[in-house]
Amino acid sequence: MRLGHEQELDAPLDAVWAHFMDLRRIGRCFPGARVTQVDGDDFVGEVRATLGPLSMWFDGTGSMTERDADAGHARLAATGRERHGLGRATVDITLRLHPLGDGNRTRAHLATDLVFLGFPLDFGSGLVQRASDPVIERFLSCMATPGPVDDAGPDDDGGALDLVRSATDLLGSFRRRRR
């Protein structure tokens, strides 16, 4: 499934680029994720997601496969396996950054190829796109935050990626659009 997200960030391109090149920061900013080890462009980490009372833990590895600072382009690939089940996931994320206006703002575009295997649930790509929007919005805002970010991220409660919260955010957006 292919997902696309675009957002204007209140930070200069150089700062956003530096934050994306920090693999530990990526883990701190993504809800439910934690990078446990970094070796050059390679990393080891985990992601915890909840769907109501159901918790899923994924352990995985990944690497920054492309970096082009002049073009503001990078790619990150990762694979993970569900800790207590048969689920597997692969993700390939392409980042493109563009300066805006006077250079104090940046447009970030993420294209994500996501594959889930072994899950009992089958979500349509349209639903996944809309449900992922608030999660990616929080992630990108964190990546534009100046200074260090603690392990829980600036807006995260330190817990799992809450898929119910994402779905609630999605339903709220439907209600706002109908008004």
pLDDT for residue 150 = 76
In the chain, domain spans: 2-178
What's the pLDDT score for residue 159? 59
Gyration radius from the chain CA atoms: 16
Q: For residue 156, what pLDDT is reported? A: 42
pLDDT of residue 9: 96
Please state the separation of Cα 155 from the chain's center in Å. Answer: 14
What per-residue confidence (pLDDT) applies to 86? 84
SS3 (DSSP) at 70: coil
Instruction: Specify the fold of 2-178.
Output: Alpha-D-Glucose-1,6-Bisphosphate; Chain A, domain 4 (3.30.530)
- Splitting the chain (179 residues) into consecutive groups of 10 residues, what average pLDDT does each group show? 92 96 93 94 90 80 97 96 87 96 94 78 58 80 87 50 51 46
Residue 89: predicted pLDDT? 86
SS3 label, residue 155: coil
Per-residue pLDDT at 137: 85
C-alpha span between 160 and 106 (Å, rounded): 28
Distance CA 137, CA 143 (A): 10
The CA distance from 63 to 40, in Å, is 9
91/173 Cα distance (integer angstroms): 26
C-alpha span between 116 and 79 (Å, rounded): 10
| Alpha helices per DSSP H over the chain | 13-20, 23-29, 125-143, 163-178
